[in-house]
Structures are given as C-alpha cells and as structure tokens.
C-alpha cells in the first residue's frame, strides 16, 4: 500500500479525526508520519526540542519526570487514541517537560507541530477543530492532575474511624 494511503487509513481510525473534512485530513496527512517504537525505547526526553505531537495508535507510552532524589516518577500513561506532546502545538512551548517511553511495542502517528500551527493559522476552520480537540485534552489532563494532586486514596484523618 502507498505509504500516504496507509497513513490516511491509520489517521481515519482515530475517533476525533472522523470529524475532519477530506481536505483537512489530506492536509494533516501531508505533515504526518507513522512511527514504531519498541518496548523500553525512549520517544523523547525531558528538555528535548518539542517538534511533534504524537497520537498512540496501538500500545502504551508512559510519561515520566525526573524528580531528584526520588528518581523517575511516572505520572501518566497514554493508551490508543490518546495524544501526547500536545503542548508543542501551542506557540509558547519549545521543549519537552517530561520524558516519553514505550511500555510495550507501540505504533504512533506523529504530526509536525510547527506545520500544524501554520495550517491552523491559514485555515481557521481546521484551526478551530484542532484547538477544540486540544482544549478537550487539556481539560481531561487538568482534571486528572487535580485528582492525582488531591491524593484521594491517602488515608483520611478521621477521628471517628473505627
């Protein structure tokens, strides 16, 4: 199969890509590639230039932060259809704030962040769809981070506990 056709076929499997018009799917396919990473392989490291947004097509990617002296702390894993590296689509983020490692063999779509921003600037209909999706991702990550921060499974201080 032609690599571009294979790429489009993979992108069409992503639920939120089904909202895109054909011309928008073609535009995004033009700035995207497929990538496979083996279990244990590092996709990017904290501090690297943030050049791509990734969408997990199969497998699992873990996000870790190095926390001296505790070592690497895993704070999120991304399973199929989840986006990682989303902040590189914003104009202010230029470097990775966490490291991403494949937990198992993983198949990804990678989208050039700079070119995606340019496409969004040129075509505001596409830009609206992309930014609306990114807003959903930010909202769910914010909710998840907030609940993790609350440490909801910590033993509550309860003087009435029996």
Partner 1 sequence: MATHVHTHSPASPSERLLEPVWAQVMDITNEAEGISTYWLKFTDPAVEAAYTFEPGQFNMVYLPGYGEAAISISSNPADPTLVGHTIRFVGNVTRAISRLKVGDVVGIRGPFGSYWPMKEMEGHDVIIACGGIGLPPLRPAIYHIMNNRDKFGKVYLLYGARTPKDLLYPTEFEEWERAGIQVQVTVDRADEDWQGQVGVVPMLFYRFRMDAPNSVVLTCGPEIMIRFVVYEGLARRVPAEQIYVSLERNMKCGQGSCGHCQLGPYFICKDGPVFRFDTLQPYFNVEEF
Q: How far is the CB of 148 from partner 1 (least distance, A)?
A: 5
* Cis ω for the linkage preceding 69 (within 30 of 0): yes
For the chain, the helix, strand and coil percentages under 3-state DSSP, each to the nearest 5? 40, 30, 30
68: left (phi > 0), else alpha (psi -120 to 50), else beta? beta
Interaction between residue 126 and partner 1 (CB under 8 A)? no
Please, which of residues 12-71 interact with partner 1 by CB under 8 A? 60, 62, 64, 71
Interaction between residue 135 and partner 1 (CB under 8 A)? no
Burial of 71 (0-12, 13-18, 19+ CB in 10 A): exposed
Stretch that binds partner 1, among 18-26, 29-37, 98-106, 118-126 (CB under 8 A): 98-106
Residues making contact with partner 1 (CB under 8 A): 60, 62, 64, 71-77, 79, 82, 101, 103-104, 140, 143-144, 147-148, 150-155, 158, 160-162
């Amino acid at each position: 199969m032609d690599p571009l056709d294979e790429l489009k076929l993979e992108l069409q499997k992503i639920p939120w890509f089904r909202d895109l018009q054909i011309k928008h799917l073609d535009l995004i396919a033009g700035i995207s590639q497929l990538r496979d990473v083996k279990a244990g392989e590092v996709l990017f490291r904290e501090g690297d230039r943030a050049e791509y947004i990734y969408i997990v097509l199969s497998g699992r990617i873990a996000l870790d932060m190095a926390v001296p002296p505790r070592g690497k702390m895993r704070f999120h894993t991304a399973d199929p259809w989840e986006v990682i590296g989303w902040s590189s689509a914003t104009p202010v983020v230029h470097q990775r704030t966490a490291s991403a490692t494949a937990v198992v063999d993983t198949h990804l779509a990678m989208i050039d962040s700079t070119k995606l921003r340019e496409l969004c600037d040129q075509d505001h209909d596409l830009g609206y769809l992309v930014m609306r999706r990114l807003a959903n991702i930010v909202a769910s990550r914010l909710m998840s981070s907030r609940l993790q921060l609350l440490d909801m499974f910590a033993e509550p201080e309860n003087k009435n506990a029996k």
